[in-house]
Amino acid sequence: PGCLLQFLSYLGACDRLLKQGYEEGQVEEAMEMFQYSEKKAAEFLHLLAQFNDMGFQQNEIKEVLLLCGNQREKALEELVMK
């Protein structure tokens, strides 16, 4: 039963993130990267979209966000220096 509850909460989290307009592949990837923490995945997706809009490359953004633990200012500094 524990696995089923975890799975249902994962689906609920994915659904909420998808409704915010994020792509399914990105949502699943973010949820896996952050051990299914909806809060951390949401922060990551939000920053990914923000930095993407600024013109940074998505693979670089992902790398930097993971290194910086989703810290916006630190990640932005790293991206600008690349």
Q: Left, alpha or beta for 20 (phi > 0: left; psi -120 to 50: alpha)?
A: alpha
Structural domains present in the chain: 1-79 (1.20.120.1920)
**Contacts by residues 22-25 (CB-CB < 8 Å, ≥ 24 positions apart):** 22/49
pLDDT for 82: 87
Model confidence pLDDT, tens digit, residues 23-59: 999 999 999 999 999 999 999 999 999 999 999 999 9
Shortest CA distance to 58 belongs to which of 31, 21, 23, 14?
23
Whole-model pTM over 0.85: yes
pLDDT for 30: 97
Query: Rounded to an integer, what distance in angstroms lies between the CA atom of residue 14 and that of residue 19?
Result: 9
Does residue 1 carry a pLDDT above 80? Answer: no
